[in-house]
A and B are shown apart, each in its own frame.
Chain A
Amino acid sequence: MKVAIVGGSGYVGGELLRLLLRHPGVEVDQVTSDTLAGKAVGRAHPNLRKWTSLTFAPHSALRAADITFLATPHGGSMERVPGLLGADGTVIDLSADYRLHDPAQYPAYYGRQHPHPELLAEAVYGLPEVHRDAIRSARLIAVPGCIATASILALRPLVAASLIDPAHVVVDAKSGSSASGQDSGPAGLHAERSGVMRAYAPAGHRHTAEIEQETGVRVALSCHAVEAVRGVLATCHAFRTRPVDEKDLWRTYRAAYGSEPFVRIVHETDGIHREPEPKILAGTNYCDLGFAADAHAERIVAIAALDNLMKGAAGNAVQCLNLRAGFPETTGLDFPGLHPI
């Protein structure tokens, strides 16, 4: 199976290449970048030196592939997708351009009208734990945002079990610098980023729309930049509808994710790593989920950790590829992470 990556010079594109070059079921036929056209892949992704002889092609030279990954910045996929679908290809889009089903959300959260609203109804939100069957037959898969993935996986079991008040849910998210990509501007400078603990979106973050779409609850999302390169930690605060204890929460999460290959329930009574933390997930496709029952405040705390470039982007995209192409779902995604790191 031949695949192509559009926008392969960014961090997400690099992770896609790292995963797909070692995937036994696919051949990376082409990778495009206008800014690095003609340059070796190793120029942008030095970890891939000697792994491939591919060079970046300009976007205009893109050839048809069985599956095309779009790793362009938000807004870069809207106009590309119709042509790719018209050529009988399957598209896995890692931008936000086809994640939202309601066209009215695009002006509200992305500042522009969607030029192809008819495709929003067809696009499948690419979260296997929620839409596995639909992904298997989708032509257009919209890979979720990193903070959205963590928040949705943490909250959905609580919503499904009617354990929380759907009108009062707060998500406090922390993310590493790679989440803002290579073109983050002055905010990404070492002098600004080193040692940072910055509330960069106390309200109004774009992922709010995705989380609400996929959970059905109203979400108050606040996002922070922290001193890390990779990683998202989403701490979700919700208020219970009836008394629950930690065994109830274990049962709830176990029922939701007990057979999921990339969701682990982490809530241990001893040791250093008692709750999820993104540090040990770097390079893995896991989302670790933890929780606490706060009887004092009648609150349930749900905690999700992941690598924003992996389960939050490229790893999840390859998981979708595996489903869509009929490969075992974990193919190419078996890295267990590093410790210490």
Chain B
Amino acid sequence: MTECPECAAIVESHDKVLGEVFPCPDCGTELEVLGTEPFSVQPAPKEAEDWGE
């Protein structure tokens, strides 16, 4: 397991594979698996959005 870099939620590795993208169960951030031994993640790259703000 590791921590979500956005919200510090515990993220389980389960059977995730290198490069897999999955949502954090708490904050919904798309996370990309950087390594499996040890398990590590980072926010996945995303297209920029214009919210009109």
Chain A residues with CB under 8 Å of chain B are 246-247, 250-251, 254, 265, 267-271
CB distance from B21 to the nearest CB of A (A): 12
Total interface residues in chain B, CB < 8 Å: 12
Report yes or no: A268 in contact with B8, Cβ–Cβ below 8 A: no
Q: With A and B bound together, what is the CA distance between A265 and B24 in angstroms?
A: 13
Q: In this complex, what residue of B is CB-closest to A271?
A: B28
- Closest 8 A/B residue pairs (Cβ): A268-B28, A250-B7, A247-B8, A269-B29, A250-B8, A268-B27, A251-B8, A269-B27
A–B Cβ pairs within 8 angstroms, 16 of them: A246-B6, A247-B6, A247-B7, A247-B8, A250-B8, A250-B26, A250-B27, A251-B8, A254-B9, A265-B26, A267-B27, A268-B28, A269-B6, A269-B28, A270-B29, A270-B46
Q: What is the count of residue pairs linking A and B with beta-carbon distances less than 8 angstroms?
A: 30
B26 cross-chain contacts in A, Cβ below 8 A: 250, 254, 265
Chain B residues with CB under 8 Å of chain A are 6-9, 26-30, 43, 46, 49
B46 cross-chain contacts in A, Cβ below 8 A: 270
A246 cross-chain contacts in B, Cβ below 8 A: 6-7
A268 cross-chain contacts in B, Cβ below 8 A: 27-29
A271 cross-chain contacts in B, Cβ below 8 A: 28
A267 cross-chain contacts in B, Cβ below 8 A: 7, 27
CB distance from A248 to the nearest CB of B (A): 9
Q: With A and B bound together, what is the CA distance between A269 and B30 in angstroms?
A: 9
B49 cross-chain contacts in A, Cβ below 8 A: 270
CB distance from B45 to the nearest CB of A (A): 12
Q: In this complex, what residue of A is CB-closest to B8?
A: A247
Q: In this complex, what residue of A is CB-closest to B5?
A: A247
Q: With A and B bound together, what is the CA distance between A250 and B6 in angstroms?
A: 9
Report yes or no: A270 in contact with B28, Cβ–Cβ below 8 A: yes
CB distance from B43 to the nearest CB of A (A): 8
CB distance from B23 to the nearest CB of A (A): 9
CB distance from A280 to the nearest CB of B (A): 15
Report yes or no: B30 in contact with A270, Cβ–Cβ below 8 A: yes
* Residue among A246, A251, A268 with most chain B CB within 10 A: A268
Report yes or no: B9 in contact with A250, Cβ–Cβ below 8 A: yes
CB distance from B25 to the nearest CB of A (A): 11
CB distance from B2 to the nearest CB of A (A): 14
A247 cross-chain contacts in B, Cβ below 8 A: 6-8
